[in-house]
């Protein structure tokens, strides 16, 4: 067996920790560099498709995830102006049987903690904070990683999991700032007792409207209630985890049904995000350096696959290194070749679904008729290519 590699992972988010866990379990010596003063995640919910639960099983994390996740009764979409049900897909039963894994939702803090705890329990993984990667240089023997404070680290490989504004990406792809979508997301989380019974739903329920939508679902086994309101706006070029303007939000949803407006009034403080992505690229590797997650393929939230695709990246990266442990550059090429079409398809399909959710006029009527006139699971089944997940046996065919 070839000797273990030394690997630096830039970024301690979900994707970076997933990569560290996979590589550490393979016996590689991994150092995770997180630029913040502490490892942590934002207080918001995320959805987890069956493809992601497949990865949890491979990583031995299913029990830990199940302990903190919520498994919704269905996926639904209502018209925000009329209240009519556009479509509802019951979950469990046939849908679970079709993919072999459930559909769940989870607090970002909780899933991050699952990966963080697993990394802490792995002797081959070292976790560092206040360590921002600025640049790298490589030669035939390895890569030198330069940190913001002047320190440098030497390793066999560098994985850039440093997010949407990745410094590592700029050295490889060089495509500048992300693409601003013109969509703004407001996020909030309520305790269960703060949500009246008539406003509560055990579904992941999306209220679609003209250039707006609201989605809500329970978290932490029903202890919390997550809300995400999205609308179109060109007021902001960037913004992340800043306070939102409640008056502006209420104005955008002024034509919504009373149930939606009443729910929005329950929130006193919203956190705002400007939604951005990038164009899909075919190459995100440079010799001994590669990208992962949002650093490689940032996507809009409309398919709820950002974290999931990062976790898939981590597993596939590990498989590529198994095949070519002594040739890092070759492994990274295999990894991106196995990933770029799938992640690119998710990126572009997410944009399309944003248009569908926010349709107006005739497009809105056609959307409603399309979903209402077909099978109940038509929308879900249309994404079977995504939810079936990665076939590890055919990765490098």
DSSP states along 278-332: ----S--EETTEEE-GGGT----GGGS-HHHHHHHHHHHHHHHHHH-TT-HHHHH
Answer yes or no: is 346 within a domain.
yes
Answer yes or no: is 229 within a domain.
no
CA dist 185 and 141 (Å) reads 45
Q: Is 217 a catalytic residue?
A: yes
For residue 377, pLDDT beyond 50: no
Mean pLDDT of 373-381: 60
pLDDT at res. 375: 47
115-170 confidence digits (pLDDT tens): 999 999 999 999 999 999 999 999 999 999 999 999 999 999 999 999 999 999 99
Mean pLDDT of 350-375: 86
State which residues form the domain around 19. Answer: 6-71+104-176+279-355
Answer yes or no: is 314 within a domain.
yes
Answer yes or no: is 137 within a domain.
yes
pLDDT at res. 237: 62
What tokens appear for 363 in the block?
């497009």
316-343 confidence digits (pLDDT tens): 999 999 998 779 999 999 999 999 999 9
pLDDT at res. 132: 97
pLDDT at res. 233: 87
Answer yes or no: is 182 within a domain.
no
Answer yes or no: is 211 within a domain.
no
CB contact burial 109-123 (16+ within 10 A = b; e otherwise) = bbbbbbbbebbeebe
Report how far apart, in Å, the C-alpha atoms of 108 and of each of 209, 220, 369 are. Answer: 26, 11, 34
45-76 confidence digits (pLDDT tens): 999 999 999 999 999 999 999 999 999 999 99
What tokens appear for 299 in the block?
């996507």
388-397 confidence digits (pLDDT tens): 999 998 888 7
Mean pLDDT of 69-87: 95
Poorest-pLDDT segment among 283-287, 299-303, 382-386: 382-386
Instruction: Tell me what the pLDDT averaged over the chain comes to.
Output: 94
249-271 confidence digits (pLDDT tens): 999 999 999 999 999 999 989 99
What DSSP element (H or E) covers 145? strand 143-147
Answer whether 53's CB lies under 8 Å from 91's CB: no
Higher pLDDT among residues 239 and 320, named by residue:
320
- Please state the three-class secondary structure of 225-285 as a single string: EEEEEEEECCCCCCCEEEECCHHHHHHHCCCCCHHHHHHHHCCCCCEEEEEEECCCCCCCE
Backbone angles phi, psi at 5, to 5 degrees: -95, 155
CATH of the domain at 318: 3.50.50.60
CA dist 145 and 53 (Å) reads 33
For residue 36, pLDDT beyond 60: yes
Answer yes or no: is 273 within a domain.
no
Q: Is the pTM of this model over 0.85?
A: yes
Backbone angles phi, psi at 55, to 5 degrees: -70, -40
pLDDT at res. 97: 84
171-201 confidence digits (pLDDT tens): 999 999 999 999 999 999 999 999 999 999 9
pLDDT at res. 376: 46
Answer yes or no: is 64 within a domain.
yes
At residue 122's C-alpha, the angle toward residues 117 and 127, to 5°, is 70
Q: Which of 217, 302, 335, 387 is the catalytic position?
A: 217
Total count of domains within the chain: 1
pLDDT at res. 1: 52
Mean pLDDT of 216-231: 96
Report how far apart, in Å, the C-alpha atoms of 262 and of each of 154, 184, 198, 250 are. Answer: 56, 21, 11, 10
């Amino acid at each position: 067996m070839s000797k273990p590699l030394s690997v630096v992972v830039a970024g301690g988010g979900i994707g970076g920790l997933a990569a560290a866990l996979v590589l550490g379990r393979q016996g590689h010596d991994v150092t995770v560099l997180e630029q913040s003063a502490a490892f942590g995640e934002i207080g918001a919910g995320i959805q987890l498709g069956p493809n992601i639960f497949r990865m949890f099983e491979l990583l031995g994390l299913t029990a830990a995830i199940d302990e903190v996740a919520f498994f919704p009764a269905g996926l639904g979409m209502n018209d925000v102006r009329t209240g009519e049900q556009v479509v509802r897909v019951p979950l469990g039963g046939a849908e679970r049987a079709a993919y072999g894994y459930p559909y769940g939702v989870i607090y970002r803090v909780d899933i991050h903690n699952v990966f963080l705890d697993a990394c802490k329990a792995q002797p081959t993984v070292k976790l560092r904070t206040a360590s921002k990667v600025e640049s790298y240089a490589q030669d035939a023997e390895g890569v030198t990683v330069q940190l913001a404070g002047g320190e440098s680290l030497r390793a066999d490989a560098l994985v850039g999991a440093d997010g949407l504004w990745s410094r590592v990406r700029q050295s490889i792809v060089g495509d500048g700032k992300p693409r601003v979508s013109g969509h703004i997301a407001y996020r909030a989380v309520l305790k269960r007792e703060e949500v009246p019974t008539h406003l509560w739903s055990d579904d992941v329920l999306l209220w679609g409207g003209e250039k707006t939508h609201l989605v809500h679902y329970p978290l932490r086994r029903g202890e919390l209630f997550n809300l995400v309101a999205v609308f179109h706006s060109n007021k902001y070029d960037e913004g992340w985890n800043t306070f939102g303007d409640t008056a502006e939000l209420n104005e955008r949803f002024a034509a919504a049904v009373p149930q939606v407006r009443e729910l929005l009034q329950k929130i006193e403080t919203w956190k705002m995000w400007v939604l951005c992505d990038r164009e899909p690229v075919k190459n995100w590797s440079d010799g001994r350096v590669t990208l992962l997650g949002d650093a490689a393929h940032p996507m809009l939230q409309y398919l709820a696959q950002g974290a999931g695709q990062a976790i898939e990246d981590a597993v596939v990266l590990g498989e590529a290194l198994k095949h070519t442990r002594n040739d890092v550059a070759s492994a990274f090429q295999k990894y991106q070749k196995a990933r770029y079409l799938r992640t690119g398809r998710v990126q572009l399909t997410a944009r399309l679904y944003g248009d569908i959710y926010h349709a107006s006029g005739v497009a809105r009527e056609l959307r409603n008729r399309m979903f209402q006139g077909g099978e109940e699971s038509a929308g879900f089944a249309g994404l079977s290519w995504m939810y079936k997940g990665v076939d590890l046996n055919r990765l490098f065919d």
